[in-house]
């Protein structure tokens, strides 16, 4: 991904934990700087979520400005799994309110995703919420993506001025941010 204002590319590399599940992504070069670039990031993440077994249940991911250990030149941070949306290990309400991450994502595997069109079989979906500070005039932004196992994109929507209460995914992510 590149932005005409910033020629340095955003590079994304997925990584898996010891359990062979998707644990997150290493972000190199620079962070995505626009809603469009975060939508492109989400597109890659959802395509991976469509791969059977990589994301077993709806999972929350958060952007952190920490770099991974090891020789990863140019790494600027991680988008790392914060746990399933429900059940053991799930993040609690307000968990990210103290240190608001630049982005929160939900990834739904095909088994927990309802396709937007009937012919979208085996589609995974996801949402990225870019928290704003509405009382300072900085609006919430979000993108939603749905992709089939073969990589076909069946839905891609981005919005500025999002009311998190109007969509189940953004409502869950906003709840995790609420202090």
Q: What is the DSSP string of the chain?
A: --BTTB-SPPEEEEEE-TTSSEEEEEEESS---SHHHHHHHHHHHHHHHTSTTTS-S-EEEEEES-PPSSS-TTEEEEEEEEEESSSTTPPPTTTTTSS--S-EEEEE-GGG---SSTT-TT-EEEEEEE--BGGGTB--EEEEEEE-TT--EEEEEEEES--GGGSHHHHHHHHHH--
Domain extents in the chain = 11-177
Per-residue pLDDT of the chain (179 residues; tens, 9 = 90+): 544 455 589 999 999 877 889 999 999 999 999 999 999 999 999 999 999 999 999 999 999 988 877 767 789 999 999 999 998 989 988 888 788 899 999 999 999 998 888 888 889 999 999 987 655 557 889 999 999 988 899 999 999 988 888 899 999 998 998 85
The overall pTM is greater than 0.85: yes
């Amino acid at each position: 991904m590149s932005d005409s204002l910033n020629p340095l590319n955003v590079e994304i590399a997925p990584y898996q934990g010891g359990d062979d599940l998707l644990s997150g992504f290493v972000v190199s070069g620079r962070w995505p700087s626009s809603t469009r670039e975060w939508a492109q990031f989400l597109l890659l993440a959802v395509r991976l979520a469509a791969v059977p077994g990589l994301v077993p249940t709806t999972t929350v991911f958060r952007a952190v400005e920490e770099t991974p250990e090891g020789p990863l030149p140019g790494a600027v941070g991680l988008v790392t799994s914060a746990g399933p949306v429900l059940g053991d290990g799930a993040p609690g309400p307000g968990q990210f309110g103290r240190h608001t991450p630049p982005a929160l994502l939900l990834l739904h595997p095909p088994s927990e995703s309802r396709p937007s069109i009937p012919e979208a079989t085996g589609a995974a979906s996801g949402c990225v919420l870019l928290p704003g500070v509405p009382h300072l005039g900085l609006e919430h932004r979000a993108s939603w993506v749905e992709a089939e196992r073969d990589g076909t994109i069946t839905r891609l929507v981005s919005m500025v001025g999002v009311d998190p209460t109007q969509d189940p995914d953004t409502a869950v992510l906003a709840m995790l941010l609420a202090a």
